[in-house]
Amino acid sequence: MAMGDVFKTNAELTSFTDKMRVAVFGSAGGIGSALYNMLAAHPRVEHVFGFSRQHPDPKFQIDFLNPDSLTRAGETLAEIAPLHLAIMATGVLHDDRLGITPEKSWRHLTSQNMAKNFQINSIGPAIIASHVLPILARDSKAVFAAISARVGSISDNRLGGWHSYRASKAALNMLLKNFALELRHRNPAGIVLGLHPGTTDTPLSKPFQSGLGHDLFSQADAAQHLLGVIDGAGTDISGQVVAWDGHIIPA
């Protein structure tokens, strides 16, 4: 399926086994916490594991700017295998603490800002994926999904700007495509997805919500939409980025 809709089933997750083992990365964030809470209460989920910078257990702490935490997360993932669903609900567009701001012009580019964008939006998720993909279940549907963004599409870029963010999300999308192609040979039933949640009421979008010409979703609505897309996804769309409404986003 190159374009069009993905069949959705209202996040009932009936396309998965009824004893799902799930991991959510970024489980303390806006969409991540909504996904974690929804999955923790879901009747088809047996275990849900949350990873975040704020997690009280060091085994489940991840910080994409701290390589040791990624190594430790990989060890933890090996202990909790197999997984039927892993969702990467992480990303940065702006962060005062880290000095990250979206650039409006090439005049504002700095190597430090670009490096942090790529480390958080591309490299960190890729390293986690390298630990998750080998432990995806093989006896039933299994999905690795990462929240991306429509602005990571090269062919759909009509406004420019936000150079580091756009480029780091485009890099993430390429990595997801690569992972899908490799997973096809190693675990033919496995699926890799990029997800675009739409504009959601989170700290990431807060400075850019005024004057929206489209819907602003609550975190719970965004989580519901994404689980619906994941439930409807098949191996035919593995490696592609899918919007909250089921439409494939062009590369």
Q: How many Cα atoms within 13 Å fall on the side-chain side of residue 70? A: 17
- Residues 56-103 have pLDDT tens digits of 999 999 999 999 999 999 999 999 999 999 999 999 998 989 999 999
Strand arrangement of the beta sheet that strand 85-88 belongs to: 45-51, 20-25, 85-88, 142-147, 190-196, 241-243, 248-249
What does the alpha-carbon distance between residue 6 and residue 249 come to, in Å, rounded to a whole number?
12
Quick one: pLDDT at residue 199? 83
Q: Nearest Cα to 243, choosing from 130, 174, 145?
A: 145
- Residues 94-105 have pLDDT tens digits of 898 999 999 999
Q: Would you list the domain boundaries of the chain?
A: 20-249
pTM equals 0.91
What six digits make up the tokens of 231? Answer: 């439930």
Which residues are paired to 88 by β-bridges?
25, 146
> Where would I find the H helices in 59-162?
67-80, 111-118, 124-132
Query: What architecture (CATH level 2) is domain 20-249?
Result: 3-Layer(aba) Sandwich (3.40)
